[in-house]
Amino acid sequence: MGTEGQLIMGAVAYDPKVVSIWDGFQKYFRARDLDFDYVLFSNYEKQVEAHFQGLIHAAWNSPLAWLQSERAAKALGRRAEAIVMRDTDMDLTSIVLVRADSGISGLAGLKGKRVAVGASDSPQAKLIPLNFLAEKGLRPNADFTVIVFDKLVGKHGDHIGGEREAARALMNGEADAACILDGNRLGFARDGTISSSATRVLAQTPPFDHCNFTVLDGAPTGLISRFRDLLLEMSYANAEVRPLFDLERLKSWLPGRTRGYAQLSAAVDRFGTIDSFVKGVAAQCK
């Protein structure tokens, strides 16, 4: 473990702005008597491994990394906790977009069609929507063809490049449908990736949750408690914090919850996405 009295957090460098965000928070925490430092990983798998090896006290985890941590902890008889998340991590949905003139009017219309998805480890642009379709009786790569836009695997879809490619494939006719996060419909329409009038939402998943700060049992409780309290008391009205919130896309931090991960959990069960990784982590730590 790191320097005594210092809280070390892990985050994944999915974008250069990550450095600005955590440098900013580091300054904020240190000004409030929390000796805070962070380590950046190139992918979530390395971060989860490092967490179980005790190299970091807390991890800013994707929903998939949360499940990896939760399941590895369970396999080791330990406990993972989601302590804090963004307001914007709660109640997201994914949508299945089709071209407005496609003639596909219901999910059954996807049979035999090409469905574009984001990165193979993206909860919102692949795992959750494909599980949703499977639950509706449409088996991926059996009832329809999946076209994967595998951008930056290991970042768990944080980099939306794959989703954007999927949306482009829909617009240029390479695909008949595209799976994206609900909010990206607005974003892609604004930046011209898609035309909102030329597309139609065929289906929407139930709500699910996204990232969280994960801690494992045995983490230094005083430091974690101080970290949690400082996060929760941050205000968007504070000019020091607001640019960081804007970069990290939140208006407030909220206490963590785990009930929003059921759909992703069902998806990884169905597709076996993280089984071998979780076994590997558990084996390393036994």
Partner 1 sequence: MQIDVDLGPLGFLEGGHLLIKRALRNAGAGKSITVTGTSPELEIDLRSWCRDEGHNLELRPRNGEQTTRAAIVNGGAEAKRWTGAQRAGQADAAQTDGVVSHAPRRWGLAARGATVEAGSPEFDFHLVDKIEVWADDAARLYAQAVAAQWDPRTAIPWDAKFELDDDVEDAIVQLMTYLIENETAALIIPSRFIAQLHPHFREVMQLLAVQAADEARHIDVFTRRGLMKRDHLGLSTIGGQASLKTLVDEPEFAIASFLLSVLGEGTFLSLLWFIERYAPDPVTAAVAKLAAQDEGRHVAFGIAHLTQHLNNDSSFRVRLADSVRRRHDALQHTAGLNAEVFDALVLLAAGSWDPGDLRRGHQRVMDLTKEMDEGRQKRLRRLGFSEQEAAEISSLHTRNFM
* Closest residue by Cα to residue 116 from 138, 88, 145: 145
Residues touching partner 1: how many (CB under 8 A)? 29
Contacts of 176 (CB under 8 A, 6+ apart): 98, 99, 102, 104, 110, 113, 114, 115, 170
Q: What is d(CA 176, CA 97) in angstroms, rounded to the nearest whole number?
A: 9
CB of 87 to partner 1, least distance (A): 6
Site for partner 1 in 218-277 (CB under 8 A): 235-237, 239-240, 242-243, 249, 251-252
Site for partner 1 in 83-112 (CB under 8 A): 87-88, 90-93, 95
CB of 71 to partner 1, least distance (A): 27
Judged by CB, which is closer to partner 1: 50, or 254?
254
Judged by CB, which is closer to partner 1: 249, or 279?
249
**Eight-state DSSP code of residue 265:** H
Query: Within 13 Å and on the Cβ side, how many CA atoms surround 156?
Result: 28
The amino acid occupying position 49 is E
For the record, the structure tokens of 68 come out as 């990896």
CB of 43 to partner 1, least distance (A): 26
Give the Å distances, CA to CA, from 221 to 6, 57, 130, 171, 281: 12, 10, 39, 50, 24
* Closest residue by Cα to residue 154 from 21, 282, 48: 48
Decide: helix, strand or coil at residue 227: helix
Answer whether 167's CB lies under 8 Å from 184's CB: yes
CB of 184 to partner 1, least distance (A): 8
By CB under 8 A, name the one of 42, 53, 105, 196 that touches partner 1: 196
Site string for partner 1, 48-87 (x = CB under 8 A): ---------------------------------------x
CB of 182 to partner 1, least distance (A): 4
CB of 250 to partner 1, least distance (A): 8
Q: What is d(CA 4, CA 260) in angstroms, rounded to the nearest whole number?
A: 34
Q: What is d(CA 89, CA 12) in angstroms, rounded to the nearest whole number?
A: 16
| Binding span for partner 1 by CB under 8 A among 3-11, 39-47, 137-145, 179-187 | 179-187
CB of 38 to partner 1, least distance (A): 22
By CB under 8 A, name the one of 185, 212, 219, 263 that touches partner 1: 185
Q: Does 205 bind partner 1 (CB under 8 A)?
A: no
Footprint on this chain of partner 1 (rule: CB under 8 A): 87-88, 90-93, 95, 181-183, 185-186, 189-190, 196-197, 200-201, 204, 235-237, 239-240, 242-243, 249, 251-252
